[in-house]
């Protein structure tokens, strides 16, 4: 079985969007306790196809025995401190990842604005590791005006390979639009999804970006 119910969210996203291809290389940010590692590894297909799944979490994670094989490994680190070069070194032959997943979220305080702010920071960090550019911010708000004029720079260089896909969990907030606007010129397709496995009371929503340009 799966080590957490969150597996069903990624299974649903995978079914709907076909994010992880056979033999893919996947970076899973906020991977504890490891259910997404299981689904990601399953999605790689048979061992001969190759591929890799690298999980990162603040917590130490033992790779689940079920649904995971030798292609999965985990690293204990704070993603907010993880440098792009370090993340790249974790990828197969240092060539980057074809998929970046972030299911990171703060320990929910119940204070809506605070949780949203941390969730937004984690999402921004995941996105900037992936694409190599950061969402423009002024104060703690995403700068909408700047965003409108922010065309992708040809030098942008994150850990995500061209054509790659990103999944980022966010809490619904005013900043969401900013994430979408930032991603639209950089990816072929940008969607939002609330998998059915998500509790109806939860404000969680997933940003799905497909096909990095
Ligand atoms: N996708 C996982 C699974 O299926 O097993 C569940 C992830 S859980 C909802 C969110 C995780 O994000 C927690 O384990 C937490 O430790 C991690 N997290 C939060 N902030 C983080 C950070 N700054 N760096 C690394 N991990 C972080």
What residue owns the CA closest to ligand 1's atom 14?
32
Q: Which residues does 188 contact at the CB level (< 8 Å), separation at least 6? A: 210, 211, 213
60 token code pair: 């130490």
What residue owns the CA closest to ligand 1's atom 25?
57
Q: Which residues are catalytic?
A: 169
Assess whether the C-beta atom of 64 lies below 6 angstroms from ligand 1. no
Assess whether the C-beta atom of 87 lies below 6 angstroms from ligand 1. no
Convert the pLDDT of each residue in 90-116 to its tens digit.
999 999 999 999 999 988 777 888 888
Provide the b/e sequence for 2-21 (b: ≥16 CB within 10 Å).
bbbebbbbbbbbbeebebbe
Convert the pLDDT of each residue in 195-207 to its tens digit.
887 777 778 999 9
What's the confidence (pLDDT) of residue 58? 97
Closest-lying ligand 1 atom to the alpha carbon of residue 28: 1
What residue owns the CA closest to ligand 1's atom 16?
58
Is the complex ipTM more than 0.95? yes
Confidence at 30, pLDDT banded by 50, 70, 90: very high
Task: Tell me the CA–centroid distance for residue 171 and ligand 1, in Å.
Answer: 14
Task: Tell me the CA–centroid distance for residue 122 and ligand 1, in Å.
Answer: 10
Domains belonging to the chain, first-starting first, are 7-212 (3.40.50.150)
Task: Tell me the CA–centroid distance for residue 2 and ligand 1, in Å.
Answer: 16
Assess whether the C-beta atom of 35 lies below 6 angstroms from ligand 1. yes
CA distances from 98 to 81, 86, 154, 200, 211 (A): 22, 16, 19, 31, 10
Ramachandran angles phi, psi of 103, nearest 5°: -110, 20
Confidence at 150, pLDDT banded by 50, 70, 90: low
Convert the pLDDT of each residue in 33-42 to its tens digit.
999 999 999 9
Model confidence, pTM: 0.94
Mean pLDDT for 24-32 is: 98
């Amino acid at each position: 079985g799966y080590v957490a119910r969150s597996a069903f969210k990624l299974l649903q996203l995978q079914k709907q969007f076909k994010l992880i291809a056979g033999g893919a290389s996947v970076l899973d940010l906020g991977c504890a306790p490891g259910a997404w590692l299981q689904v990601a590894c399953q999605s790689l297909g048979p061992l001969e196809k190759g591929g890799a799944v690298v999980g990162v979490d603040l917590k130490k994670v033992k790779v689940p025995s079920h649904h995971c094989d030798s292609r999965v490994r985990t690293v204990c680190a704070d993603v907010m401190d993880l440098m792009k070069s370090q993340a790249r070194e974790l990828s197969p032959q240092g060539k980057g990842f074809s998929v970046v997943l972030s299911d990171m979220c703060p320990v929910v305080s119940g204070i809506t604005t605070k949780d949203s702010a941390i969730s937004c920071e984690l999402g921004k960090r995941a996105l900037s590791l992936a694409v190599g550019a950061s969402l423009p911010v002024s104060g703690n708000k995403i700068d909408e005006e700047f965003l409108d004029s922010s065309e992708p720079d040809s030098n942008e260089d994150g850990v995500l390979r061209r054509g790659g896909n990103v999944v980022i969990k966010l809490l619904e907030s005013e900043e969401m639009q900013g994430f979408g606007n930032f991603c639209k010129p950089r990816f072929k397709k940008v969607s939002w999804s609330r998998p059915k496995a998500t509790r109806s009371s939860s404000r969680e929503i997933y940003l799905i970006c497909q096909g990095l340009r």
